[in-house]
Amino acid sequence: MEKKAIEEKIWEIISNIKGKEVNYKKNDDELTGRYYNLDSVDMVYLVLEIQKFFMVKIEKKDLDNYGFLTVEKISNIVFQKKLI
């Protein structure tokens, strides 16, 4: 799966979590910041949905150093795991 397709699916998952379409999509903006405002429960759902859809295991080390803070970082993690 190409990285762009991974990013698009992540945005779709985020839209589903928020219950509305995300119109402003910038891959390096913080998901917990003012534009997307995901809270801790939203982030847990995001991890679970990404694991389920992409069939990858998100480990604690993936979350270290704010590894799940942006769509870009998340897509890099998923992309690397799909290569294995």
pLDDT tens, position by position, 11-49:
999 999 999 999 899 999 999 998 899 999 999 999 999
What pLDDT sits at residue 14?
97
pLDDT tens, position by position, 44-79:
999 999 999 999 999 999 999 898 999 999 999 999
* Distance, CA of 52 to CA of 54 (rounded, Å): 6
Q: The domain 3-17+26-83 belongs to what CATH superfamily?
A: ACP-like (1.10.1200.10)
Q: Could you give the angle at the alpha carbon of 7 between the alpha carbons of 33 and 34, nearest 5°?
A: 10
